[in-house]
């Protein structure tokens, strides 16, 4: 489902926006939707043609579904054919531990992002796809106190500028829209893996109905789940050195699956793979002077059962009252309060997830863990509970 622009560059430049949201992924589109429902004037900007495929596990866990339900969007996701997921099958060295999950859904980002962007448009948000956005550094915009400028370029057209009281950056790991703003530099983990993803035929990888297949090896892990239309969504986190040593991405993925004992179909090597920059990173200060950073752009850790999208939705929900306050008053305490709230909520759960990710790289720990979970799968409950995002305080207080 292609989503057309609702405004052009000239129209975007004429308006004075309450919020410009950069990036139409889960964090950006849900934020834009909720802000528009709060009667703010919102412009949603997406760099690529929309919708588009993304490297993503495709899982909406119970926390993500709860966020969508609070926004009244859970039925929209079901309507696009999302499949139900209730089990994680953890494979390592041909051993399998079957772990029960609180029921969630699996859906491709192509379908999910289109549904969320459509909801934002229905709420009254203006939309500019295929448009590169760049936040203008504050020192270059002394013309209007309390406003931020964003340069916009649609395809190869001339660059124009739009003004907003707040800018919300949700444009992914690289947060390229902030490349001119020196205070927004991510700290990338030296051990960060590369993300790889693709979509295959129903028999591409060994799957069971309602289950996520998770294959863990020395060089990374591969997750697979059935999504709408019977396709299989595949996402992996792979050591950069191993990926480089393999002749093709398919060979790297197949090697990880083989080491874990997961069977593959004959057409895995025909999958069109996409990659990411290094995954694990954090942004020390995800807000400053009218800018709020959300989703993967604010920090990322290798996820396991849908934590990534749950973090995106939790941030989208929580940031709304802070933005509303920032629109009313240019007070730096608002951004400081958001930084604290984010660190104590999503940031705290990402730190725990980072610990689990490190442990899963140690074969001497993973092997007995899988054996233990095969016999006592209920022991996984407390671990998964710690991975669930804690929504930042959503009252917008600055005290």
State pLDDT tens for residues 182-219: 889 999 999 999 999 999 998 899 899 999 999 999 99
Encode burial over 278-308: b for 16+ CB neighbours within 10 A, e otherwise: bbbbbbebbbbebbbbbbbbbbbbbbbbbbb
pLDDT tier for residue 242 given thresholds of 50, 70 and 90: very high
Say if CB 213 and CB 91 are below 8 A apart. yes
Say if CB 370 and CB 99 are below 8 A apart. no
For residues 317 and 61, give the distance between their C-alpha atoms in angstroms, rounded to a whole number. Answer: 16
pLDDT of residue 143: 44
What is the percentage of the chain residues whose pLDDT exceeds 90? Answer: 69
- Across 9-13, 152-156, 260-264, least confident range: 152-156
pLDDT tier for residue 307 given thresholds of 50, 70 and 90: confident
pLDDT of residue 399: 40
pTM for this prediction: 0.91
Stretch 340-349: mean pLDDT: 87
For residues 245 and 90, give the distance between their C-alpha atoms in angstroms, rounded to a whole number. Answer: 26
Phi and psi torsions of 97, nearest 5°:
-110, 125
Q: Say which residue the tokens 């560059």 belong to.
A: 9
């Amino acid at each position: 489902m292609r989503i057309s622009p609702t405004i052009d560059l000239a129209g975007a430049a004429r308006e004075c926006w309450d919020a410009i949201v950069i990036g139409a992924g889960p964090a950006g589109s849900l934020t834009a939707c909720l802000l528009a429902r709060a009667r703010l004037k919102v412009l949603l900007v997406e760099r690529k043609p929309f919708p588009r495929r993304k490297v993503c596990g495709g899982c909406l866990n119970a926390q993500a579904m709860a966020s969508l339900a609070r926004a009244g969007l859970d039925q929209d996701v079901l309507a696009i054919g999302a499949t139900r997921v209730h089990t994680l099958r953890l494979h390592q060295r041909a051993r399998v531990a079957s772990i029960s999950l609180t029921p969630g859904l699996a859906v491709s980002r192509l379908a999910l992002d289109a549904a969320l962007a459509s909801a934002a448009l229905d709420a009254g948000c203006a939309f500019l796809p295929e448009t590169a956005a760049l936040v203008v550094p504050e020192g270059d915009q002394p013309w209007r106190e309390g406003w931020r400028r964003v340069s916009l370029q649609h395809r190869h057209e001339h660059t124009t500028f739009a003004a907003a009281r707040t800018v919300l950056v949700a444009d992914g790991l690289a947060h390229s829209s902030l490349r001119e703003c020196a205070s927004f530099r991510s700290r990338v983990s030296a051990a960060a893996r590369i993300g790889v993803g693709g979509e295959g035929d129903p028999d591409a990888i060994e799957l069971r109905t309602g289950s996520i297949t998770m294959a863990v090896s020395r060089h990374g892990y591969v997750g697979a789940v059935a999504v709408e239309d019977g396709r299989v969504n595949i996402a992996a986190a792979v050591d950069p050195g191993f990926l480089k040593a393999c002749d093709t991405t398919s060979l790297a993925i197949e090697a990880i699956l083989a080491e874990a004992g997961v069977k593959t179909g004959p057409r895995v090597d025909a999958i069109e793979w996409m990659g990411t920059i290094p995954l694990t990173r954090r942004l020390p200060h995800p807000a400053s002077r009218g800018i709020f950073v959300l989703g993967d752009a604010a920090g990322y850790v290798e996820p396991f059962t849908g934590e990534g999208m749950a973090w995106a939705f939790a941030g989208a929900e929580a940031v709304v009252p802070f933005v509303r306050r920032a629109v009313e008053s240019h007070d730096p305490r608002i951004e400081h309060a958001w930084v604290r709230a984010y660190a104590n909520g999503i940031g705290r759960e990402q730190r725990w997830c980072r610990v689990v990710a490190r442990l899963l790289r140690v074969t001497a720990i993973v092997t007995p863990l899988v054996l233990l979970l095969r016999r006592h799968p209920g022991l996984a409950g407390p671990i998964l509970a710690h991975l669930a995002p804690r929504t930042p305080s959503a009252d917008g207080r600055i005290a």
